[in-house]
Amino acid sequence: MNNDVSAIAHRVRGQAEALPDLFGRFDFDRAPERWAPEAEAVSELGRVRGAKRAAYLEDPELLARIREYTMLGDRTGDAYAALMPRYGFQRTVAMLVEACDSGVEAVEDAPAELVALIREMEQRPAWLDMDLVEEGAAYERNATANLSPFLIRGAFIATFLNKYSALPMALTGTLGHATAARRVKETATFFATTALPGALERFGPGFKAAAMVRLMHAMVRVNVLSRPGMWDAKTYGVPIPQLDQMPAGLIPVYFLAQEVMAKGRTRFTRLERARVELARYRCYLLGLPEDLLADTPQEIVRIWRTRSATLRYEYDDRICGGLLRATMEAELSADLSPKGRIKRRLERSVSRVFFVKAFLSGDEERAAEVGVPVSRRDHLIYGATMLAVAGRMAAYRAASRLPGLRRLADRRLVRRIERQLAGYGRAEFTSDSARYRPAIAS
């Protein structure tokens, strides 16, 4: 794939030609307000302790690429989602589900846009090593089964700290507790599903989940751009640009890359490469441009931080605070048993402390200001829970090194993940335009 700046710019501007009703009003030559390359700008990188912003503004080629990607949606996914007026919401979703389950050939009178989307996802990149992907998934199953249920809410709300990237979620009704809970569960479902054995093979459940997430994001773009007064393009650019999906997809390997560099290493080990390969392929299936999917510690950190250094930062309590509070107060479990109630209490405390430690540099005063107060009790629960989880994960890691126990341990992890998925309920991966709230964009 040609990913020089001129090719990216052509792809970005081609959105107006392909879907003029949606993108025809965009001036792609004019950067939106969210783009912040000026030296004095307050950017999202300011929230990263010790990161020197000036160092990430010195590469004009990378800056130009990120500037273009700021205005790129999902051309293939958007084209398919734009068929909703013709086919209706239910039929649009059903055709994609059938194409994932049985092949696009099985879909009667499949539209060309659906064929294009499926064929694009079926095309494996030249760098892909599926053996590494499976190794990465096998490793991730331990954390997915034992740790992720306690952290997913905290990681999810990290995306709400900046109005320039949080607005689409606010517009789609996620300020409501029920919708917020559904979005957290869908996020957890996607990552848990893609950690299952063979999940990212062509007819695996992870491939299908990725297709559904792409359609959900495309539906948001189509819906907000189709309704007058819903979206302020001059301020926010394109809704949910591919660039804003990078943090959610790559956050585990970004933290991993930082750890590797802190140890003075420049290369990943085989197991670390497997974890990176899993994350890269998940993101590829979600439609992220390949040149954003770096495979070395240095490049992962450099691209991530350059994106943060050029994303203008502003906390708007109406947008960001509303999303944070709704998500923290949302009920994620329907288990009313004593064990279920205890687990819910533990999860709430752990997610709060994790959020503050990982995304606010431990600043509890700031956490209280944004609506995520942390108490001494939360810290005690966090410490005890993480100690117990660490012990359980260590036991599974030890078992994975013993030939006689490896398969048994993995089967148990798979069963735990499958129970989690059952508890989350059926993920719809859709966006209900009736819940959209245009007033927030004014």
CA nearest 320: which of 172, 161, 154?
A: 161
Q: What is the pLDDT of residue 176?
A: 60
Dihedral sign from CA coordinates of 314, 174, 361, 368? positive
pLDDT computed for residue 270 by the predictor: 97
* Closest to 244 measured CA to CA, from 315, 169, 184: 169
261-289: b (≥16 Cβ within 10 Å) or e: eeeeeeebeeebbbbbbbbbbbbbbbbbb
Average pLDDT along the chain: 90
Per-residue pLDDT at 155: 82
Residue range 303-312: average pLDDT?
96
pLDDT > 80? residue 3:
no
Is 376 a residue whose pLDDT tops 80?
yes
What does the pLDDT look like over 142-183, one tens digit per residue? 999 999 999 988 888 777 889 998 888 777 665 565 677 788
Span 261-265, mean pLDDT?
A: 96
- 46-95 residue pLDDT tens: 877 778 999 999 999 999 999 999 999 999 999 999 999 999 999 999 99
Residue 388 to residue 184: CA distance in whole angstroms: 24
Q: Per-residue pLDDT averaged across 356-377, rounded?
A: 89
How confident is the model at residue 436, as a pLDDT? 46
What is the maximum alpha-carbon separation in the chain? 62
* Rounded distance between C-alpha atoms, residue 419 and residue 373, angstroms: 31
pTM: 0.91
Least confident of 5-19, 206-220, 334-348: 334-348
CB atoms within 10 A of CB 94: 13
For residue 345, give Cα distances in angstroms to 348, 351, 374, 418, 422: 5, 10, 13, 22, 20
Which residues touch 173 (CB under 8 Å, ≥6 apart)? 179, 432, 435, 436, 437
Per-residue confidence (pLDDT) for residue 361, from 0 to 100: 84
Band (438; pLDDT cuts 50, 70, 90)? very low
What pLDDT, in 10s, does the model give residues 380-427? 999 999 999 999 999 999 999 998 899 999 999 999 999 999 988 776
Closest alpha carbon to 386 in 412, 422, 360, 357: 357
Q: Which two tokens stand for residue 422?
A: 């059952």
Residue 45's CB is within 10 A of a number of other CB atoms, namely 23
209 in Cβ contact with 190 (< 8 Å)? yes
Tokens of 334: 């329907």
442 pLDDT above the threshold of 70: no
Mean pLDDT across the stretch 175-203?
86
Tell me what percent of the residues of the chain surpass a pLDDT of 70.
94
